[in-house]
Amino acid sequence: MSIIVNLDIMLAKRGMKSNELAERVGITTANLSILKTGKAKAIRFSTLEAICKALECQPSDILEYVED
Amino acid sequence: MKRIKYLNVFVIMLIIIYLLYFIGNIAVVFLTDIMEPYGALSKGFLFGNYTQYIVTVLPVFTFLGLLFVKKGLSTIIKEGFFNLKSGMQFKTGGKLFLVSGLLSFLFDFSILYDSKSFNLLGNLGQDFLLMVIGFSLYIVADILQNGSLIQQENDLTI
């Protein structure tokens, strides 16, 4: 898929663990893992908003478009 | 899901009825001489003595189709409505119903044409009904397969 999820990078920058982010966002660690590994088919605006709020970043910091 | 279970029971009952029909027909045609007095009568039919064999063999396709429908229903009961497996099984069942309906239609039409007995028109209606059920199963299979993909996407939407 040509949309890359850079959650790992943002987590490392903020020094936050996956479990903590999942708890703050209100999703399961399994779902966060699906998102991190790029297996997710879509992301809800509400989830994106919660992630951005928790990581104090913009959607563009998490999502990146790379041409195939 | 309750209705699916009821339908499953009906299909099982129909499968048992078909089995009894096959056993009875095979016993009558091959194992006994009950049909012997009617031998001269069947010679007047379009397919002659083979008519009784054709009548025994034609419902085999419907029977096989029913087995696939039963499999599909069991899969739905186990795995939920939208799954690719039951879609495939319904599609095969639909194909078999279509083949059965078409062959029965050709057989009944040739008998009707040969005998000019128009009270056989009802049989043609039943054959068409079987083909309609076959097509419907095909459509149901498509809905199940599309539903499965949509559900998969929904599950992977975070």
Write the pLDDT tens digit of every residue in A3-14. 899 999 999 999
Provide the pLDDT for residue B35: 67
pLDDT, one tens digit per residue, over B111-144 is: 888 777 777 778 888 899 999 999 999 999 999 9
A5, A21, A25, A41: which to substitute to probe chain B, counting the most B Cβ within 10 Å? A41
Provide the pLDDT for residue B44: 63
**From the CB of residue A50, how many other CB atoms can be counted at a distance below 10 Å?**
16
User: Which residues from A are below 8 Å from B when comparing CB atoms?
Assistant: 27, 31-32, 34-35, 39-44, 47
B158, A39: Cβ pair inside 8 Å?
A: no
Provide the pLDDT for residue B90: 95
Domain count, chain B: 1
pLDDT, one tens digit per residue, over B89-101 is: 999 999 999 999 9
Residues of chain B with pLDDT under 50: none
Confidence of residue A15 (pLDDT cuts 50, 70, 90): very high
pLDDT, one tens digit per residue, over A32-63 is: 999 988 889 899 999 999 999 999 999 999 99
User: Which residues from B are below 8 Å from A when comparing CB atoms?
Assistant: 152-153, 156-158
Q: Which of A27, A32, A34 sits opposite B156 (nearest CB)?
A: A34
Given a cut of 70, whether residue A1 has pLDDT beyond it is: no
CA distance B15 to chain A (A): 42
Provide the pLDDT for residue B121: 78
User: Which residues in B lie closer than 8 A to residue A45 (C-beta atoms)?
Assistant: none
User: Which residues in B lie closer than 8 A to residue A41 (C-beta atoms)?
Assistant: 152-153, 156-157
CA distance B150 to chain A (A): 11
Separation between Cα atoms, residue B102 and residue B94, nearest integer Å: 12
CB-based burial label for A7 (10 Å; 0-12, 13-18, 19+): buried
In terms of residue numbers, what domain contains B28?
2-155
The domain A3-56 having CATH identifier 3.40.605.10: the answer here is: no
Q: Which residue of B has its CA nearest to A36?
A: B158
User: Which residues in B lie closer than 8 A to residue A49 (C-beta atoms)?
Assistant: none
pLDDT, one tens digit per residue, over A27-36 is: 999 999 999 8
CA distance A53 to chain B (A): 16
**How many residues make up chain A in this entry?**
68
Q: Which of A27, A39, A47 sits opposite B156 (nearest CB)?
A: A39
User: Which residues in A lie closer than 8 A to residue B152 (C-beta atoms)?
Assistant: 41
Provide the pLDDT for residue A20: 92
For residues A5 and A40, the answer to whether their CB atoms sit within 8 Å is yes
**From the CB of residue B30, how many other CB atoms can be counted at a distance below 10 Å?**
11
- CA atoms within 13 Å, Cβ hemisphere of B110: 11
**CA R_g for chain A:** 11
Q: Euclidean distance between the first and final Cα of chain B, in Å?
A: 27
Provide the pLDDT for residue B119: 72
